[in-house]
Amino acid sequence: MTDTLTTALQSTDMLLIDNLHAFDFSLDASGLRVECMDGRDLKRWTFTPAQIAAAAMNIDLQAWCISDDKGAHQLVCVQAFSGQDEEHAEQE
């Protein structure tokens, strides 16, 4: 288990935020930005470095609890894989 959300995000390929899959996210010095489609609606979240630092892991949910000015959110860091990775491993 990682100690901080920042550490977890550095090795993450996909996020689940409030049970929505988000492939489009970025983490930099200004914070974390997340976008995903919910049906036809584009959802966006922005978290400051202070909000990221204050995030806490909920062991029971296996999710990071993070808050912004709109309320609390559950964030799960996921490492994705693809068929391309398997094909490359077979060739070696």
Tell me the CATH number at 58.
2.30.29.190
On the question of pLDDT at 91 being above 90, the answer is no
Total count of domains within the chain = 1
Residue recorded with tokens 């999710």: 63
Mean pLDDT for the stretch of residues 18-31: 94
pLDDT 10s digits, 36-67: 999 999 999 999 999 999 999 999 999 999 99
For the purposes of burial, counting CB atoms within 10 Å of the CB of 27, is it exposed (0-12), middle (13-18) or buried (19 or more)?
A: middle
| SS3 of residue 60 by DSSP | coil
Q: How many residues can be counted in the chain?
A: 92
- What percent of the residues of the chain are helix, what percent strand, and what percent coil, each to the nearest 5? 25, 50, 30
Query: What does pTM read for this prediction?
Result: 0.80
Q: Are 32 and 22 in contact (CB under 8 A)?
A: no
Tell me the two tokens of residue 91: 């060739």
Domain extent for 75: 5-91
